[in-house]
Amino acid sequence: MILVTGATGHLGANLVRALLAEGREVRVLLKGVAGPALDGLAVHRVPGDLRDPRAVEHAVTGCEEVYHCAARVSTGNGRKREIYDINVLGTHHVLAAARRAGVRRVVVTGSLSATGWRHGVPSTEEELFYPFGEHTPYTVSKVLMEHECAKAAARGLDVVVATSTAIIGPHDYRPSRMGRLLLDFSNGRLLAYVPGGFEFVSVTDLVAGHLLAMRRGAAGRKYQFSTRYHTVDEMLDLYAEVSGRPRPRLRVPSAVMAGIARVTAPVVSLLAPRHEPRLTPAAVGFLRSRRRADCSRAVKELGYRPTSVARAVEEAYACFARRGLIDVRHGAVPSRRRVRTPARPPAGRS
């Protein structure tokens, strides 16, 4: 039996499908209604909240492997208690329960934001995180989550961290930040954009990375997974080709948008505390940083082989279209041409 937390999220929904396709027996921990993410899937559903140690204990008991993918993702500065309780305490509960239950291995999903970086240098898993910068509550929570993994490993639990970059691909039911951007673009609602760049990972590649980490990873080790670095302009070109929509003409300088975000984000947080702005100061900062990730360790130690962001965009678009979330009445039609994939960088560097 395999437990997957966060099974209704973007990664979790794809991971569950991959495990079921392999003939594995899957249990999922669910808080509330699953929605369409698990429709028609033969999984064992266990109700419970990561913040409840007894519910987590019940879900973990009897499982040989655990994929802990659940997290409260945010680029804002609000909801700190919720982010900490889910991302840090929730992880602590999962790891403690797994150790008591004798789970063979736990793979925990990490974030590139919790990895240190230097401008212009691709980050490796060994890059030290600088704690005194301007970090979001989410980033801090993911750093503390890795500390929980290290503590659990010191106590004898076999745990591996699988670090994710910005995910793109199908079965994005909430949807994610990248999914909402693709929907806005395809439905003609994206009127402007901010230049920059980031590491993107096909959800298919990220699932493969998690499976490899479970089967081949070294205990206590951390592995980064990215498919490729793309600029925002390159990503919008992929969106344009797959959707038939033109790229927005208005390209707002990142410094200008950062100033706007700093002014508007606190107002939105005050007036609508449950709503997270699309472009927060941190989100703009991530794009401006143009962070790169070095995936050499995953390539060499796990046999990780990244595929194509372009293909992931096609699959994401097709999935949204099948669900009726893209308005095709105004010229947004699926491209019949395969999206061109830029030349792949040297092996080990995304």
Active site residues per annotation: 138
Q: How far apart are CA 301 and CA 194, in angstroms?
A: 36
SS3 category, 332: coil
Distance CA 107, CA 19 (A): 14
Given a contact cutoff of 8 angstroms between Cβ atoms, the answer to whether 25 and 44 are in contact is: yes
Question: Hey, what long-range contacts does 19-23 have (CB within 8 A, 24 or more apart)?
Answer: none
With beta carbons less than 8 A apart as the criterion, state whether 235 and 178 touch.
no
Instruction: Look at residue 101 and give its three-state secondary structure.
Output: helix
Measured distance CA(296)–CA(293) in Å, rounded: 9
Residue 321 corresponds to which tokens in the numbers above? Answer: 């279209």
Q: Distance between CA 213 and CA 142 in Å, rounded?
A: 18
- CA–CA separation, 254 vs 97, rounded Å? 44
The DSSP bridge partners found for residue 13 are none
Return all residues near 184 (Cβ < 8 A) that are at least 6 apart: 190
Report yes or no: 104 and 205 within 8 Å, Cβ to Cβ. no
